[in-house]
Amino acid sequence: MSRTKGEQFAGVTVAVITPFMDGAVDYSALKKLVDWHVEQGTDGIVPVGTTGESPTLSHEEHEKVVDTVVQQAAGRIKVMAGTGSNCTKEAIRLTLHAKKAGADGVLMVGPYYNKPTQEGYYRHFKAVADETGIPIVLYNIPGRTASNIFPETIIRLAELPSIVAIKEATGNLDQASQIACGCDLTILSGDDSLTLPLMSIGGRGVISVVANIVPRDMKALVKAFDQGHMAEALKWHKKLFNLCKDLLGVATNPIPVKAAMKLLGRDTGEVRLPLWALDDASVARVKQSLSAYGLL
């Protein structure tokens, strides 16, 4: 397999939830979450991403979550801190904090709401790269940011030394193929259900939500593909596919995954406004998905 820039982030990285208890971040539960992923063999974790409800955290909470995760990881598992912002100065500040905390890299979502031009995207990420020097994983998810970072822009950004990988969440395999053909960034799936298809065109793994629940299974899929065991990789894809679509389709991430973790005895299930807990019918759907998979 050809080497790619940023291949230290290949494999299964989990976008971890932020546990809450009575409205506050539960740092004790967060530490246990890190330990659990180390035990499960997860390759890396992303604190304060979308799944970690980063938009609802105060600046102080954001930094303390990163500090807590890095300290608890203690080099046993890679930490890729979420440091994206639609304000370039804020993104630089968050990224410098993650670097000082000891994170292995950062995950930077494209600026949301203000919809930059392609030149604006380039200059935003270049400014952060120039100011910080920590490995940066780009995150392109037009469904949340309302704007696409074009392949040509990503290929141009790949020329910057500290931009090493991309979390590809456009759901567009043609766009992912253009990136794979045009540069040597490590491409990671941003959609659990597209992990195998993306790896078939050059992807090297996934930044996963469903792996909050079944990290070993997602890693089994990625490992099987890497070892050339295509039938086994397809078997895992088919097993995981329904869980990914049924569970994550119930409501906005991370509401259903937190509900699932509560049913499995691993979280309170609490989310922060403007997110809200599932109604009884939706909880029943989550329970049915977990049961069908064999987890309940």
Question: Which tens digit of pLDDT belongs to each residue from 221-259?
Answer: 999 999 999 999 999 999 999 999 988 899 999 999 999
Instruction: Give the pLDDT score at 187.
Output: 98
Give CA 188 to chain center in angstroms: 9
Is there a contact between 78 and 44 (Cβ–Cβ < 8 Å)?
yes
Pick the CATH number of 7-228 from 3.20.20.70, 3.40.640.10, 3.20.10.10, 3.10.580.10: 3.20.20.70
CA distances from 186 to 19, 32, 99 (A): 30, 29, 20
CB-based contacts of 110, cutoff 8 Å, min separation 6: 84, 116, 121, 138, 139, 140, 141, 145, 147, 149
Instruction: Give the pLDDT score at 278.
Output: 97
If we measure between CA atoms, which residue out of 135, 114, 107, 83 comes closest to residue 208?
107
- Residue for token digits 């910080």? 132
Q: 61-85: per-residue pLDDT in tens?
A: 999 999 999 999 999 999 999 999 9
Which long-range CB contacts under 8 A does 231-236 form with residues at least 24 apart?
233/196, 233/199, 234/196, 236/196
- Residue for token digits 């506050």? 24
Instruction: Give the pLDDT score at 4.
Output: 79
Instruction: Give the pLDDT score at 1.
Output: 56
Q: Determine how β-strand 78-82 pairs with β-strand 24-25.
A: unpaired
Instruction: Give the pLDDT score at 248.
Output: 87
If we measure between CA atoms, which residue out of 102, 81, 79, 16 comes closest to residue 53?
16
Catalytic residues: 139, 167
Q: How far apart are CA 29 and CA 56, in angstroms?
A: 18
- Residue for token digits 């894809």? 237
- Residue for token digits 């971890």? 16
Q: 20-61: per-residue pLDDT in tens?
A: 999 999 999 999 999 999 999 999 999 999 999 999 999 999
Q: How many CA atoms lie within 13 A of 286 on its CB side?
A: 26
Query: What is the domain partition of the chain in residue ranges?
Result: 7-228
